[in-house]
Amino acid sequence: MPKPQPKSEKIRKEAEKAERLAEQLRANLRRRKAQAKQLVPGDSPAKPQG
């Protein structure tokens, strides 16, 4: 069982985790934008014309 951490240590770790998650989110958004740019608008089968 881990020993309790001081509040400042806990806050620091939570801040680091939030920064890490934010960076992962930004990287994911960049990848998705790049993928969206590669798609040809006329080839989208998601919305059939009619």
Break the chain into its structural domains and give their ranges. 7-38
| pLDDT tens sequence across 5-36 | 778 999 999 999 999 999 999 999 999 999 99
Non-local (6+) Cβ contacts of 1 within 8 A are none
Short-list 16, 37, 18, CA closest to 26: 18
Type and span of the H or E element at 46: none
pLDDT score of 4: 75
pLDDT score of 12: 94
pTM of the full structure: 0.59
DSSP labels for 5-43? PPHHHHHHHHHHHHHHHHHHHHHHHHHHHHHHHHS-GGG
